[in-house]
Structure 1
Amino acid sequence: MSRPFTLLLVEDELADAELFQDMLVEVAPDIQVTHVEHGQAALDHLTRTQPGRPDLIVLDLNMPVMNGHDFLAQAKTIPALRGIPVLVLSTSDHPEDIHRAYDGQASGYVLKPGTYQEYTQVLSTIQAYWRGLVKLPSVEELTGT
């Protein structure tokens, strides 16, 4: 039996995190989601001994403690984390944010949708792309075990 697809959601707004998780259940109920509230909490979670690596990190940009840009800058310097794809999901469509995210090695950048229908479509597309279309490295390949 294959390992379930896992996702780390880094989002400071509890209502946004709950909405994301509720809507994801509608399009992909088998995805396991872990939620943390800022970049430092994500780094702490990812660098703990044997925390299990997520298949995908979904990252907000504007957060307290450590924002998304700072998370990318630090996470992508850690060899064990470098290969985990990071999808930025943000309300910002500012070119500077988009450029900085890709410059920081984000794997993609998606604007947070404005309606329920758009959000459902975006999550459906995200899960289809990251779970079916692309080939991701295994946990063993990421950790060298």
Structure 2
Amino acid sequence: MRSKSFTLLLVEDELADAALFQDMLAEVGGSMTVHHVEHGQAALDFLTRQGEHADAPRPDLVVLDLNMPVMNGHEFLAQVKQLERVRSIPVLVLSTSDRPEDVHRSYDAQASGYVVKPGTYQEYTRVLETVQAYWQGVLSLPSFADLQLDHRTPERDH
């Protein structure tokens, strides 16, 4: 396990689903700080520190629902992966859709993973244990400070 803090941005329009996700993550022992926004535009604002999100931390992982108002998950992925400064942040799609088109479209847009929302409490617990162990424990992720030290690529947000 990594010792540094881990920040997750949850992009989910259903408040009950967002609360369940956060409660279950805490229950499985997740030591992640979770920030929640309700649609893709708010997530872009969070990542680019716009408006009310001017002081937002850089998340280590974005967990993204697909079906949302204002800007859906597919639109968010298409835009965020064009922004050089934040495109390296992994995005895990967590959706009720098991449609092959949604899975393929998400990966084509550079999603880091795709998980169909589980139907039972036990399955959901297992998924969140896996998410926590994999993303916080096993993976090496770039930090924003590390990216700033890399002088080979100038930062450009489009």
TM-score range, shorter chain: over 0.9
Structure 1 residue 29: Cα displacement: 4.1
Are residue 54 (structure 1) and residue 55 (structure 2) matched?
Answer: no
**1:27 corresponds to:** 28
**1:42 corresponds to:** 43
State the identity as a percent.
71
- Root-mean-square deviation over aligned CA pairs: 1.2
Q: Per the alignment, in what secondary structure is the counterpart of residue 21 of structure 2? A: helix
Are residue 122 (structure 1) and residue 127 (structure 2) matched?
Answer: yes
Q: TM-score, normalised by structure 2?
A: 0.87
Q: TM-score, normalised by structure 1?
A: 0.94
Q: Per the alignment, in what secondary structure is the counterpart of residue 82 of structure 1? A: coil
**1:10 corresponds to:** 11
Are residue 63 (structure 1) and residue 68 (structure 2) matched?
Answer: yes
Moved over 6 A (4+): none
Q: In 1, Cα distance between the equivalents of 2:83 and 2:29?
A: 30
User: Where in structure 2 are there 5+ consecutive unaligned residues?
Assistant: 150-158
Residues 52-110 of structure 1 show CA distances to partners (whole Å, capped at 9, x for unaligned) of: 21000000000000000000000000011110000000000101100000000000000
Are residue 87 (structure 1) and residue 92 (structure 2) matched?
Answer: yes
Count, aligned residues: 143
Greater C-alpha radius of gyration = 2
User: Where in structure 1 are there 5+ consecutive unaligned residues?
Assistant: none
Residues 24-55 of structure 1 show CA distances to partners (whole Å, capped at 9, x for unaligned) of: 00113421000000000000111115522100
Q: In 1, Cα distance between the equivalents of 2:146 and 2:101?
A: 33
**2:137 corresponds to:** 132
